[in-house]
Every structure is written in structure tokens, then in C-alpha cells.
């Protein structure tokens, strides 16, 4: 995935579609950040339209509708998950599976030739269309059912404050007074579904990666645990107030972002006007992929880039290399993930809690000894590690008691 001709920008033209792949932080920052207004659009994702994803924020084309939805996007539905058998969990899992197996955005024959969506799905080269139509009910359900449940709670005057509740109050009031609404019901449904799917999918996948790299790198795990003991102690769990002080723990998360970005090619942008970069002409409508994987593994930026080493970000006087923190794993420019800070803080508190309460090691073999193995991966659209075995032991009775108290409090 690295460029082979010495350029950090690769341009090619196929079947009437113009493509650019950006291989460096400098080109991605210049085009997608500094010139963000020119590259804020998305290409048309016909495959995802067939799956029923069209209304969601991530895939919306640039314009006033997308901007209005982005401003108001916060919390989704205000619904509770009543245990592991909750229907909301099943809905989220189904939609996550649909996304994970649908392939990279804008990569299907339908994205290249939109009219292909009208071909018979039984044709041998229309496997992606068959897949889209198979999973469409699940995608439509995740957009519709939680929304309907939130409206039902509103009608019963039992709704808690949420994104849907606050937006629908405004929508109903404007409709009652005959005033125009800045966003439609489909905008609200799609924005709420984006919160649910994006948050659930990426958080779970990143936690799996954190567990994997802590298991594989025991010295990193011990160093992070020592930091937590020094700052938090052993008598309680890490709190939100502790997070800014847990410097090395944060670097463990940053290194996880870098070594295995979940979306190796990001989500493509599209140029809304002609542009020129370093003497290269970029026509309007060009699809732009940020090659996040190449950026994160650039040996000019990161020494020994395939080594999991959080210390690389520390200053040289502290034993590190002073290398820059990774960027791009949450997107670039005006299409950056607006849930970035919520996701990052959630992952940090999860990571800190794991480190404070448990030791994570290789699974035990028949002889009772840790048995290393090579994990298996899925690379359809996202780079996700498949489920694997581990060995977990409690770090202390006090830590586990504190954890059990927190769990009991959440369940009451």
C-alpha cells in the first residue's frame, strides 16, 4: 500500500472515474485539512444506498442538510439496554456485520456504474447486490426501530433527554406552527443511527485490539499498570478525573490507533471543484482516499513502524523517539468523526479499568503455560481482529471488589 514511484499522491482513471490516493500526512493535511472546503464532499455510495444507509450522516453528500444534522448530533435515543439479550444489541450486531462484510466504500460495480443496481441480482458478478438486498432489512431496522421506540416514550411522557427527543420536540413544534424544519425526519433517523452504529462498531473493535496488544506486549502492560498504581492507587477504579494524568495509558491507545487503523483507506472524500496540488491538476469530482495505513507505517515518520511501542512518542530524554502522535484514524478535515472525543474518552476509561483490575496473558495450554498464537483477521472494509482466546487473572481483591461495585451500581 506504499507508493512505488516516489510520489505521495497517486492518481489513476478507471471507467470514467478519477481517483487519488494520498500516502502521506503532509498531502492529506494539505488537501483534506487546509483545503477542506474543496474536499468536503463524499462520492455516491450506491452499494450503501441499496443496503439502506443513504440517510446516515457518514455517507451524506456535502451541503446544508449534512451541516444541519452534524451540528445537532449528540446523543441518540435515550433507550436502555436491559442485559445481553436486549433486542437493541442484536440490531447493532446485525448492522455491524452488514457493514463489516460490505467491502470498502465506493468499491463495488454499482458505485462505478450506478445503473448496475437494476441488473438481475442472480448474475454471477452481482454478488454485492445480492448481499446488499439480503442485509437491507437489518439496516432499515436499525434506522427505524430505535427511533420508533423513542417516539413511543415521548408520547407516553417517559422519554429521557436525548438527541431524538430534543430534535423531535423542535420538529413537532415547527410543524404545529407551520414553520419550516431545517431537517427532515429522515435526517434525524439517519443521524441517530450513525451514533449507534459508529460508536458500537469502532469501540468494540478497538477494545479487541487493545486486549490483543496488551497480551502480546507484557512489558507495555506492566508499565501502564505501574502508572495507574502510582496515580490512582489500588483501592479504587480510575475515574474521569484521572484520565488526563494517565499519560502512558493514553500512549498505549495512540499506538493501537497507529499500528492497526480500523479503516486502512479511510472513508473517501470527493472534490467539489478543480484544484492544483504541487503542480498536479485535480479535476472536480475526483474521489480521494487517504491511505491511513501507509501514513501510520511510514518509516520516515515512525521508526520500526510494525513494532508496537508506545514509548516512541515520549521525548528522547525520557527514552523515546519524540515521534508524532498519529492522525487520520478518525478522518480528516470537515468530514472528521464528530464522535472522536466521546469515543476516545470512552476507550481510555475502558483501557484504564482493564489495566487496574486484571492481568491479560496468552491462553494456557495443556501444560498450564501461556501459549502464544497468531491471531486471525478480517479485512473486508475494516481491519478487525477475529475473536481469540486469552487468560485473565485478577490484579487484587480490592480492585475486583471496586469493579463489582461499579457493575452492581449500573445494574440497579
For Cα atoms 139, 99, 39, give the angle at the middle one, nearest 5 degrees.
105
Q: 3-state SS string over 204-272?
A: HHHHHHHHHHHHHCHHHHHHHHHHHHHHCCCCCCCCCCCHHHCHHHHHHHHHHHHHCCCCCCCCCEECC
Residue 246: band (very low, low, confident or very high) from pLDDT cuts 50, 70, 90: very high
Least confident of 15-29, 230-244, 313-327: 15-29
DSSP 34: I
Assessment of whether the complete model's pTM goes beyond 0.85:
no
Nearest by Cα to 232 from 346, 341, 343, 354:
354
- Cα–Cα dist 315/328, whole Å: 22
Cβ atoms 206, 262 nearer than 8 A:
yes
Please, are residues 290 and 22 in contact by the beta-carbon 8 Å criterion? yes
Q: In whole angstroms, give the CA distance from residue 253 to residue 207.
A: 10
185-194, 321-330, 360-369, 389-398: range with lowest mean pLDDT: 185-194
Residue 370 pairs with which residues in a beta bridge?
Answer: 364
Eight-class DSSP state of 364: B
Higher pLDDT, 18 or 261: 261
Per-residue confidence band for 5, with pLDDT thresholds at 50, 70 and 90: low
Please tell me the distance from the alpha carbon of residue 148 to that of residue 190, in angstroms, as a whole number: 13
The greatest distance separating any two alpha carbons of the chain, rounded to the nearest whole angstrom, comes to 74
Residue holding cell 500526512? 25
Q: Are 79 and 164 in contact (CB under 8 A)?
A: no
How sure is the predictor about 371, in pLDDT bands with cuts at 50, 70 and 90? Answer: very high
**Which stretches of 23-95 are assigned E, i.e. beta strand?**
none
Return the higher-pLDDT residue of 359 and 46: 359
Asked if the model's pLDDT at residue 387 lies above 80, the reply is yes
pLDDT at residue 186, rounded to an integer: 80
pLDDT at res. 82: 64
> Residue 353: pLDDT band by 50, 70, 90 thresholds?
very high
Q: What is the dihedral of CA 259, 260, 261, 264, to 10 degrees?
A: 110
Task: Report whether 179 belongs to an annotated binding site.
Answer: no
pLDDT at 322: 96
For the chain, the average pLDDT equals 81
What mean pLDDT comes out for the span 271-289?
A: 90
Contacts of residue 6, Cβ cutoff 8 Å, sequence gap at least 6: none
Which residue shows C-alpha cell 487520520? 328
Give me the phi and psi of 147, to 5 degrees please.
-65, -45
Q: What are the domain boundaries of the chain?
A: 9-411
Q: Alpha-carbon Rg of the chain, whole angstroms? A: 23
What integer pLDDT is reported at residue 83 of this predicted model?
Answer: 59
Here the cell at position 361 is 496473558
Split at pLDDT 50, 70, 90, the class of 173 is: confident
CA-based end-to-end distance of the chain: 50
Q: Place 410 in a pLDDT band, splitting at 50, 70 and 90.
A: low
CA distance 40 to 62: 6
Closest CA to 301 of 315, 322, 320, 318: 322
pLDDT tens by residue, 107-139: 666 666 676 666 776 677 667 777 677 777 777
Burial of 397 from C-beta contacts in 10 A (0-12 / 13-18 / 19+) = exposed
Tell me, what's the pLDDT at 2?
Answer: 45
What are the E-state strand segments in 274-320? 275-277, 280-282, 287-290
Measured CA to CA, the distance from residue 326 to residue 342 in angstroms comes to 18
Q: Domain 9-411 adopts which CATH fold?
A: Cytochrome p450 (1.10.630)
In this prediction, residue 267 has a pLDDT band, given cuts at 50, 70 and 90, of: confident
Amino acid at each position: 500500500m506504499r507508493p512505488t514511484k516516489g510520489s505521495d499522491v497517486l492518481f489513476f482513471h478507471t471507467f470514467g472515474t478519477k481517483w487519488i490516493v494520498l500516502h502521506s500526512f503532509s498531502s492529506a493535511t494539505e488537501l483534506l485539512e487546509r483545503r477542506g472546503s474543496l474536499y468536503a464532499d463524499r462520492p455516491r455510495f450506491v452499494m450503501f444506498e441499496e443496503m439502506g444507509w443513504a440517510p446516515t450522516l457518514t455517507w451524506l453528500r456535502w451541503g446544508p442538510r449534512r451541516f444541519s444534522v452534524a451540528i445537532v448530533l449528540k446523543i441518540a435515543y435515550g433507550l436502555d439496554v436491559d442485559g445481553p439479550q436486549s433486542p437493541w444489541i442484536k440490531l447493532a450486531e446485525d448492522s455491524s456485520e452488514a457493514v463489516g462484510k460490505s467491502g470498502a466504500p465506493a468499491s463495488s460495480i454499482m458505485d462505478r456504474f450506478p445503473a448496475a443496481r437494476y441488473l438481475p441480482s442472480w448474475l454471477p458478478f452481482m454478488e454485492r447486490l445480492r448481499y446488499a438486498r439480503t442485509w437491507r432489512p437489518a439496516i432499515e431496522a436499525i434506522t427505524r426501530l430505535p427511533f420508533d421506540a423513542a417516539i413511543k416514550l415521548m408520547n407516553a411522557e417517559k422519554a429521557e433527554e436525548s438527541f431524538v427527543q430534543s430534535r423531535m420536540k423542535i420538529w413537532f413544534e415547527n410543524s404545529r406552527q407551520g414553520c419550516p424544519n431545517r431537517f427532515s425526519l429522515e435526517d434525524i433517523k439517519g443521524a441517530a443511527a450513525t451514533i449507534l452504529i459508529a460508536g458500537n462498531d469502532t469501540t468494540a473493535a478497538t477494545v479487541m485490539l487493545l486486549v490483543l496488544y496488551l497480551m502480546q506486549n507484557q512489558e507495555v502492560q506492566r508499565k501502564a499498570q505501574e502508572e495507574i498504581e502510582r496515580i490512582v492507587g489500588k483501592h479504587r477504579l480510575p475515574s474521569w478525573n484521572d484520565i488526563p494524568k494517565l499519560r502512558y495509558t493514553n500512549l498505549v491507545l495512540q499506538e493501537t490507533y497507529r499500528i492497526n487503523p480500523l479503516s486502512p483507506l479511510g472513508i473517501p472524500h470527493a472534490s467539489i471543484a478543480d484544484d492544483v496540488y504541487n503542480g498536479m491538476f485535480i479535476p472536480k469530482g475526483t474521489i480521494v482516499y487517504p491511505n491511513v495505513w501507509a501514513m501510520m507505517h511510514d518509516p520516515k515518520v515512525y521508526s520500526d513502524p510494525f513494532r508496537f511501542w508506545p514509548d516512541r512518542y515520549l521525548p528522547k530524554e525520557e527514552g523515546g523517539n519524540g515521534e508524532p502522535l498519529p492522525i487520520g484514524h478518525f478522518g480528516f478535515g470537515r468530514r472528521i468523526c464528530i464522535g472522536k472525543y466521546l469515543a476516545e474518552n470512552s476507550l481510555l476509561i475502558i483501557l484504564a479499568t482493564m489495566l487496574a483490575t486484571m492481568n491479560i496473558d496468552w491462553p494456557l495450554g495443556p501444560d498450564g503455560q501461556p501459549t502464544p498464537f497468531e491471531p486471525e483477521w478480517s479485512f473486508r472494509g475494516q481491519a478487525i481482529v477475529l475473536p481469540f482466546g486469552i487468560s485473565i487473572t485478577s490484579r487484587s481483591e480490592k480492585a475486583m471488589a471496586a469493579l463489582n461495585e461499579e457493575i452492581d451500581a449500573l445494574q440497579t
